[in-house]
Structure 1
Amino acid sequence: MRLHPGETEAAGWRVTRLADVVRRLRVEAPDGRPLLVAVDGRGGAGKSTLVERLRRIVPRSEVVHTDDIAWNHAYFDWGDLLVENVLAPLHRGGTVTFRLAAWAEHDRPGAIQVASGLDVVWIEGTGIIREQCAPWIDASIWIQGDLDEQERRLVARDGDSAEQRRHVAAWLAEELPFLSREQPWRKATVVVAGTTILDHDPESEVVVAV
């Protein structure tokens, strides 16, 4: 498996039920506000797919995508915006209605909205497990996977045009040093296999490291 430079392959992989992963995360559940769970991994790791499956297990939950915070703003320099406008209000048990300046400037409709009274809010995106956000996050998942396979997934999803290759090169120029500095795989509550040879039902099961 080809991993990020400095990342150590997790060990003791085993198949477990998604519901059991949720129970493990909810050990940290606070009173009076939703559990805030970060789901991180490199591009093509399967973050959005995993979060959607977790959301179905916890009906009273919603998802915040950091791509929406970063949209026309910055690849990774969005921590302050996320903390001040999303994480801090949720940590106080409040609601979120946040329309970014970049959305208004580029005529993107809508806003990031999160209701009150939820059990869990999943915050999904590359770079969410970072020191800056740690005081506001209750639990986290790192999705570890083979980088070659993840790159194949990205090509299948986003294409392989010259413009896309330039975008990927610019992204990697920031992603590699950022992840090397933050090392999210060392901080995660649960490490999930994004690529695995272990047989499991992806709709109800997941492969995790012990």
Structure 2
Amino acid sequence: MPAPEPLLPSCLQPRRVILFSGHMIDAPGRAEPRFPPALAPAAAARIAEALDRLEAGPLDLGLTQGAAGGDLLFAEAAQARALPLLFLQPFGEDEFIARSVRPVSAGEQWVARYRAVAARLASPPHAMPPAPAAAADNPFERCNRWLLDTALACGGERVWLLCLWDGRRGDGAGGTAHMVEEVSRHRGHVLHIDTRELRPHDPAGSPPLPD
């Protein structure tokens, strides 16, 4: 199922588009930990350092969904640097919160953080148009493709994909691996923060900026 048309108006030409893709905080009782809550401070520090090294600010644009975990850590860091931010989401906001914010560990705290970020957005979160009823569809993958197409509409060389990711492949079209490949194919730039290398209370060691 194709993604919706890119959201950005043709007149908008940010200096950089910083597209974020990252793991959600683990749900309670997750069998194989991927991004446990204890790693959130280290991840936040890595994201903040990456934005500082990019000198991200008002001339740029940030894009993400806004899920609990990496997305919201990125959004908080973006707003702290006056980086304009758009939330593109696979559902209406209430359903998105129910499916992508509240279910994680300490979910109500993440809901409060989400609402604080959303209240400061220049425009409300944008819900993706629904797919036709008869179509086989993964709305999260389709929304990631929507985010990717929106970023690339500004010109591939302007795009910086910042991903908080364990490096595992096989997540299909619209997954992080696919986004990394597509950004690279369009001459964009990729900054990978590997969750397997994060340690609690150890924010050092951000990934180098590519040439």
**TM-score w.r.t. length of structure 2:** 0.36
**TM-score w.r.t. length of structure 1:** 0.36
Q: Report the structure, 1 or 2, having the larger helix content.
A: 1
Higher relative contact order (CA 8 A, sep 6+): 1
Select the structure of larger CA radius of gyration.
1
